[in-house]
Structure 1
Amino acid sequence: MNTLTVYRLGRVEYEDGLTLMQRFAEARKQGLIGDSLLLLEHPPVLTLGRGAKRENILSNDEQLGTEGVELFETNRGGDVTYHGPGQVVGYPIFLLPKERQDVRRYVRDVERCIIQSLAEYGLQAGIIPKWPGVWLGQEGSPDARKIAAIGIHISRWLTTHGFALNVNTHLPHFNLIVPCGIREAGVTSMQRELGHRVSVPDVEETLARHFCSVFESERRDAGIPVRTVSIALLRGRGADARVLLVRRIPERGGFWQTITGRVEPGETPEKTAARELKEETGLDVPVRALDYQHAFALGEILPPMLVEETAFAAWCPEGQEVRLSAEHDAHEWLDVRTALERLEYRGLREGVKRATALPE
C-alpha cells in the first residue's frame, strides 16, 4: 500500500511555503520521500494563478498595505484567491501512479476529500461543474457560496499547490478581490455556517484521514525536528528604535540576521532566547515573547529539514556595548527600515516588525 506522510506545520510565511513545496516536490521526484500532505496556515496574502486577471484585484497597493495583505504570482492553475489565518491550506505532494494519472480524477479526488470532511461537521457541500472549488448551495441558486478553493499544478504527474478550506477565515478580506474570478457567487467559512469558531487542528485531522482514505494510502505523521528562536535586540522604541543586526562568518553563510539559536533538549524557547542572547552578545537582559511562531525549510537540504522558530524581543541598556561571539564577524545598529531591507529571511523581518510595534 502507498504511504502518505502528513505534516502539520502551523503558520508558514507564503514565500517560505512555496520554497517548502518546491523542496518536497524535488525530494519526491528524486525518490527521497514518499507522498506528502503539508497542512498549514498562511498570513494574509493574495495569490495569482496562471490564468489570473489583474482586474479581479479590486484594491490598490495602498489598501493592501493597510490591510496587511501581500501579493504573489504562482504557477498553479486558476485566477486570484486569498489565503489567511484561520484557513487550512493543503499542499498534496503526490507522484500519481499510472492508474491515477488523470487530471480530472485528481481534482475530483481532492474535492471529495474536502466534501467528506465537511460532512463530518454537518455541512453538505458539493461541486458546481462550471466553477472550481467546493461549494455550499446549488448551481444557479442565489445563495451558492464557495467554502474551499482548489488550484493545482501537475508536472509529469507530480502534484503541487492544492486547496484552501475556509475554517475561521476573515471573510471581509475576500472583498479585496473577485475570488477565482467568479462574480456571481460569494464565499463562506465553516465558522459562518456553523455559528461558532471551529478547531483548526481538528479540521486538519479530519482532512488527513480522508486524504488517506480517498488516495488509498497508509498514514504516517511527521513532526518538526528542529526548534529555533530569533531575538530582535533593540535600542529605543517606536520611530527612533535601532535594531542590532549581526553578520554570520562566511563558513556559516555570511548573511545578516538578528540573534538566532537552536532550542536544546529540555529547554523552553524563552530560556533558549535568554541564553542565546547572552552567548551571542554578552547581554543578560529579559526577553519578551512576540506571539509569533512559524515553520520553514532550513537551507537547501533534501529531503527538507523542517524548522519551527519562535520570535522574541529584547532591549539593550543605554550605553552598554555588545560583545560578538565567534559565529559573527560584524554588527550594526540600524534604523528599522534599513534593517528590514537588509534581512534576507521573511521570518526575521516579521520578528523585527512585531518587536518595533510593541507599545512603550
Structure 2
Amino acid sequence: MNAITVYRLGRVEYEDGLNLMALFARARAQELVGDVLLLLEHPPVLTLGRGAKRENILASDAQLQAAGVEVFETNRGGDVTYHGPGQVVGYPIFKLPPGRQDVRRYVRDVERCVIDTLARYGLQAGTIVRWPGVWLGTEEDPRARKIAAIGVHISRWLTTHGFALNVNTQLEHFRLIVPCGIQEKGVTSLQRELGRAVDVPEVEEVLAEQFCRVFESERAAAPPPLRTVSVAVLRGRGADAEVLVLQRTPERGGFWQIVTGCLEAGESPAEAALREVHEELGLAPEPSQLLDLAYRHAFALGEQVPPRLVEETAFCVRWPAGAEVRTGPEHAAFEWLRVPEALQRLPFKGLREAVRRAAALP
C-alpha cells in the first residue's frame, strides 16, 4: 500500500516553502522519498498563478508594504490568492500512479479532502463549476463564499502546490485583491462560519486523515526536524539601534548571519540560545536578559535532496555598553550595522525577520 509522509511545519516563510517544495519534488522524482504532504502556515503574502492578472491586486505597492504583505509569482494554476496566519496551506507532492493520471480527477480528489474535512465541523461545502476552489453555497446563492483556494501544478504526473484552507484567517487582507479573479463572491473561514476560533493543529490532523483516505494510502511518520536557535544581538534603541552580524569562515559558507546554533541533547531553545551567545561572542547573559521573539519557523538546511528540515526559534539579547565582542573560530569577521544595512547583509529571510522583530521591541 502507498504511504504519505505528513509534515506539519508550522510557520514557513513563503520563499522557504517554495524551496522546500522544490527539494521534495526532486527527491520524489528520483524515488528518494515517497509521497509527501506538507502542511504549514505562511506569513502574509499574495501569490500570482500562471493565469493571474495584475489588476486583480487592488492595493498599491505602498499599501502592501504598510500591511506587511509581499507578492510572489508562481507556476501554479489560477489567478491571485492570499496566504497568511490562521490559514492551513497544503502542498501534496505526489507521484500519481497510472490509475490516477488525470488532472481533473486529481483536482477533484484534493477538493474532496477539503470538503470532507469541513464536514467534520458540520459545514456542507462543495464546488462551483464556474470557479475553482471549495465553496459554501451554490453559484445561484448570493451568499456563496469561498473557504479554500485550489491551485496545483503537475509535471510528468508529479504534483506540487495545492490548497489553502481559511481556518482563523484575517479575512480583511482579502480586500487587497480580487480573490482568484472572482469579483462576484466573497470569502469566509471556519472561524467566521462557526463563530469561534478553531484549533489549527486539529484541522491539520483531519486533513492528513482525509488525504490518506482519498488517496488510499497509509500515513508514514515524519522524521523529527533539526532544532536550532537564532539570536539577534542589538545595542542602542530606536533609529540608533545596531545589529551584530557575523561572517562565517569561507569553509563554512562565507555568508553573514546573526548568532545561530543547534540544540544539544536535553536543552531547551532558551538554554541553547544563552549557550550560543557565550560560545560565539564571549558574553554570558542572564536568562532574564534573553527575549523570546515569538518567532519559530521551518526551512530546509542547504540544498541537499531529500531536504533536511530545520525548526528554528528566535531570540534577542541587548549588548551591554563597553563589552568586548570575542568571536570564535567559525567566524572570520563581525560588524555592527544599522538595522536597514543588516537586513540587506543577511541572506536568509528567517534571519531578517528575527532582526525586524528584535528592532521593533520597546
TM-score exceeds 0.5: yes
State the distance in 1 between where 2:79 and 2:223 align: 33
- Helix, strand or coil at the partner of 2:122: coil
Alpha-carbon RMSD: 0.6
Read off the aligned partner of 2:232 and give its amino acid letter.
Answer: A
Moved over 6 A (4+): none
State the distance in 2 between where 1:49 and 1:253 align: 34
State the partner residue of 1:93.
Answer: 93
State the distance in 2 between where 1:314 and 1:179 align: 41
State the distance in 1 between where 2:172 and 2:225 align: 36
State the partner residue of 1:25.
Answer: 25
State the partner residue of 1:216.
Answer: 216
State the partner residue of 2:63.
Answer: 63
State the distance in 1 between where 2:77 and 2:35 align: 21
State the shift of 1:265 in Å. 1.3
Read off the aligned partner of 2:36 and give its amino acid letter.
Answer: S
Q: Deviations over 1:226-271 (max 9, x none)?
A: 0000000011111110000000011111100000000111000000
Unmatched 5+ residue regions in structure 1?
Answer: none
Read off the aligned partner of 1:99 and give its amino acid letter.
Answer: G
State the distance in 1 between where 2:221 and 2:79 align: 32
Q: 2:300 aligns with which of 297, 302, 312?
A: 297
Q: Deviations over 1:20-61 (max 9, x none)?
A: 000000000010000000000000000000110010000001
Q: Deviations over 1:54-103 (max 9, x none)?
A: 10000001100111111000000000000000000000000000000000
State the partner residue of 1:306.
Answer: 309
Read off the aligned partner of 1:281 and give its amino acid letter.
Answer: L
State the partner residue of 1:137.
Answer: 137
Q: 1:318 aligns with which of 307, 317, 321?
A: 321
CA contact (8 A) 1:8 1:223 kept: no
- Helix, strand or coil at the partner of 2:143: coil
Read off the aligned partner of 1:141 and give its amino acid letter.
Answer: D
Q: Deviations over 1:290-334 (max 9, x none)?
A: 000000000011111000000000011111110000000000000
The size of the alignment, in residue pairs, is 359
State the distance in 1 between where 2:140 and 2:15 align: 37
Read off the aligned partner of 1:60 and give its amino acid letter.
Answer: S
State the partner residue of 1:81.
Answer: 81
TM-score relative to the length of structure 2: 0.99
Q: Deviations over 1:192-247 (max 9, x none)?
A: 00000000000000000000000000111314320000000011111110000000
State the distance in 1 between where 2:247 and 2:140 align: 59
TM-score relative to the length of structure 1: 0.99
The answer to whether residue 237 in structure 2 is matched with residue 234 in structure 1 is no
Read off the aligned partner of 1:134 and give its amino acid letter.
Answer: V
- Helix, strand or coil at the partner of 1:254: coil
State the partner residue of 1:193.
Answer: 193
Q: Deviations over 1:125-183 (max 9, x none)?
A: 00001100000011121101000000000000000000000000000000000000000
State the distance in 2 between where 1:112 and 1:184 align: 24
State the distance in 1 between where 2:238 and 2:106 align: 51
Q: Tell me which moved more, 284-293 or 40-49.
A: 284-293
State the partner residue of 2:148.
Answer: 148
State the distance in 1 between where 2:40 and 2:237 align: 33
- Helix, strand or coil at the partner of 2:115: helix
After TM superposition, list the pairs within 5 Å mapping 1:280-295 onto structure 2.
280-285=280-285, 286-295=289-298
The answer to whether residue 359 in structure 2 is matched with residue 356 in structure 1 is yes
Q: Tell me which moved more, 101-110 or 312-321.
A: 312-321
Read off the aligned partner of 1:297 and give its amino acid letter.
Answer: A
State the shift of 1:351 in Å. 0.2
CA contact (8 A) 1:224 1:308 kept: no
State the distance in 2 between where 1:267 and 1:250 align: 29
State the distance in 2 between where 1:23 and 1:306 align: 11
